[in-house]
Amino acid sequence: MARSSDPTRRDVLKTAGAVAAAGAIARVTAPTIQRVKAASDQVSYGLIGTGSRGQYLLTHLSKIDAGRCLAVCDIYEPNLRKGAAAIGGNPKTYLDYRELLGRRDIDAVLIATPLYEHFRITRDALLAGKHVFCEKSLVFKAEEIHALRKLAGERPKQILQVGLQRRYSQFYQTVKQMVDKGLLGKVTHVNAQWNRNPGWVMKPDPVRQKELNWRLFRQYSGGAAAELASHQVDVADWMFGSRPEFVSGVGGLDFTKDGRDVFDNIQLILKYPKGQKMMYQAISTNRHLSLFGGARTEFGEVIMGTEGTVEITVGKDNEPPIALWFVEPSPAQPTPAGGKKEKATIANATLTAAAAGSRGLPIMLSRELVTGQDSFLKREMKFARLWMYRKGIMMPREDENPVDTQLEAFLDATRTGKKPLADLELGLADSTMVILSNLAMDEGRRVYFNEIEKMGV
């Protein structure tokens, strides 16, 4: 029987099952942080690299009661001052990260330096006995992958978490549940983009030009593969439940002639086991996003299965994560022979062509589902909200920004010893992808992921 292309009540209920299960997972992974903790219950931490991301993390950390920032460090004083102001509470400031690591009263460090400094500082922090949260992409070079795996393996009691915040999003977790429960059928492809216009702009500074613009120089940076694709290929790995076999790609430095040497546009194809593939694009000349009815720009992922599709994005602070589910439209019906019916087919042709897709259903979180325990008023409010979601007037929202969830989870893990969702192996897989994708684009060849085993040894 032909399937309806719009999600039916039954489909909604089926998602509800997946959502409820995912909600259960989200509750387990989002730690139960008590607000207003006594100082003795708080994790003492320091943050190294108080540039743009470091300040952003500190602003979020300033609202998280599970930890207390004792120190910040940056080699560049103006950023150091901004970092201290972002967290407040007058943390001690350091220009040399080794002095911060030398403090015995600091249990954990967060690292938000440029990529080329991640390994050195993470290594030294582990050797100093600290728990580490390091921004993605975890490491820069093949030899660092092997060295960090070995070192972290020798120190299993220390937490090592990577800044891949999509792993902490309730929407992404729900979609993973939907994939695992087969609601999308067999997931065969993931498409993703992070397109900007303009891309990174070279900041003028005659003295610190390379330092300030580290992302634009291969000596320090993995370019768009490290800074952008790293998040989204991780999503493909997660949804497929496997790692890529090989990558091919084309990268170009075609449109931005300002002295940089990283590509300004990249396109990658990653082949996974079982024929699954990811198509990836990051360009810097157009930021249109053809998902969510054009309501967002720049970045998002499309997870495509034989029975459905999910469009998803983690969003930004002022544009929260959203996810839409589309049921795969019915296959075309065979045209019956005979004049009258043929006419009907012709008459229907325009209509079919204009409405062959399905309407996207916003993916909900468990707290939105109507339960037997709800009061009359609560139930009515939930129904009203669901109606507005269906009409596109309103979108479901996560309980909190995934960045906050990941930071709370890190601080919590330093106390409980719980393995992070974005752990060492996930970070190393991500870094492997970055290194090999850049190699594939530079050498114009298919690069197999097992090549990493012999690289940098």
Ligand X SMILES: NC(=O)c1ccc[n+]([C@@H]2O[C@H](COP(=O)([O-])OP(=O)(O)OC[C@H]3O[C@@H](n4cnc5c(N)ncnc54)[C@H](O)[C@@H]3O)[C@@H](O)[C@H]2O)c1
Interface residues with ligand X (CB under 6 A) are 48-54, 73-76, 79, 97, 112-115, 117, 135-136, 163, 165, 214, 227
Amino acid at 167: R
Structure tokens at 181: 């429960």
| HSE-up (13 A, CA, CB side) for residue 263 | 25
Place of tokens 């008023």: 377
Pairwise CA distance, residues 309 & 326, whole Å: 5
Shortest distance (Å) from residue 213 CB to ligand X = 8
The residue among 76 and 448 lying less far from ligand X, judged by its C-beta, is: 76
**Shorter beta-carbon distance to ligand X: residue 76 or 389:** 76
Measured at CB, which residue is nearest to ligand X? 51
Which of 133, 326 has the CB closer to ligand X? Answer: 133
For residues 42 and 165, which CB has a smaller minimum distance to ligand X in the complex?
Answer: 165
- Least CB distance to ligand X at residue 166 (A): 9
Q: Which residue has the tokens 């493909």?
A: 236
Tokens coding 351: 């209509």
Nearest distance from C-beta of residue 93 to ligand X, angstroms: 11
Q: How far is CA 248 from CA 35, 251, 277, 392, in A?
A: 48, 10, 11, 38
Of 19 and 134, the one with the shorter C-beta distance to ligand X is 134
Output 201 or 349, the one with its CB closest to ligand X: 201
Residue 335 Cβ, how far from ligand X at the closest point, in Å? 50
Phi and psi, residue 53, nearest 5°: -70, -40
* Residue closer to ligand X (CB basis): 177 or 313: 313
* Minimum distance, C-beta of residue 415 to ligand X, in the bound complex (Å): 23
| Three-class secondary structure assignment of 44-104 | EEEEECCCHHHHHHHHHHCCCCCEEEEEEECCCHHHHHHHHHHHCCCCEEECCHHHHHCCC
Question: Among positive and negative, which fits the CA dihedral 201, 206, 210, 214?
Answer: negative
Instruction: Report the residue number, 7 or 223, with the smaller CB distance to ligand X.
Output: 223
* Three-class secondary structure of residue 34 per DSSP: coil
Angle at CA 138, nearest 5°, toward 133 and 141? 150
Q: Which is nearer to ligand X, 115 or 361 (CB)?
A: 115
Helix residue ranges, H only, 255-307: none
What are the two backbone dihedrals, phi and then psi, of residue 180, each rounded to the nearest 5 degrees? Answer: -65, -30
Minimum distance from CB of 117 to ligand X (Å)?
5
Give me 211's structure tokens: 């330092």
Q: Which residues, listed in sequence order, are joined to residue 305 by a DSSP beta bridge?
A: 187
Could you tell me which residues are beta bridge partners of residue 44? 68
Using the CB atoms, write b or e for 78-96: b if 16+ within 10 Å.
ebbebbbebbeeebebbee
**Could you tell me the smallest distance in angstroms from the CB atom of residue 155 to ligand X?**
22
- Residue with Cβ nearer ligand X (11 or 135): 135
The minimum distance between CB 115 and ligand X, in angstroms, equals 5
Q: How far is the CB of 340 from ligand X (least distance, A)?
A: 59
Least CB distance to ligand X at residue 21 (A): 27
